[in-house]
């Protein structure tokens, strides 16, 4: 019978859903980076020599943001367009009841250009 290796009872291996002690979120601000991407955003890069570069980004015209759960089913533009064309054909055959679809605000994702 094999003997188990000795382990230090005080050592702890973090599980997937535990935070490590070295992570410091004391200066964190909830929602700091949440804003609609349509307004654009800036990224400041600090180089090793101490100089900084700021780059400005905005959404590409016609870009559509997919939430992660939807993106799992539609990984590329072709699959999204195929599904929407099918939906358009179905909708054309349904008589209107006077109610219109109201679009909900989208969450921000990284789809941008400089």
Q: Which tokens sit at 43? A: 């990224």
The reported pLDDT for the residue numbered 21 is: 82
The reported pLDDT for the residue numbered 32 is: 66
Residues 5 and 107: their CA atoms lie apart, in Å, by 49
- pLDDT one digit per residue (tens) for the chain, 114 residues: 555 555 555 555 656 677 788 888 888 877 666 556 667 778 899 999 989 999 988 877 777 778 888 888 998 889 999 999 999 998 888 776 766 666 666 555 555 555
Supply φ then ψ for residue 58, to 5 degrees.
-145, 160
């Amino acid at each position: 019978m094999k003997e188990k290796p000795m382990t230090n009872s005080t050592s702890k291996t973090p599980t997937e859903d535990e935070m490590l002690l070295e992570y410091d979120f004391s200066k964190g601000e909830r929602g700091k980076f949440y804003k609609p991407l349509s307004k654009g955003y800036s990224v400041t890069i600090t180089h090793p020599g101490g100089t900084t570069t700021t780059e400005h980004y905005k959404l590409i015209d016609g870009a559509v943001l997919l939430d992660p759960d939807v993106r799992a089913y539609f990984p590329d533009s072709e699959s999204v367009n195929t599904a929407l064309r099918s939906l358009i054909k179905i909708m054309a055959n349904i008589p209107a009841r006077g109610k219109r679809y109201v679009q909900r605000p989208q969450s921000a994702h990284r789809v941008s250009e400089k």
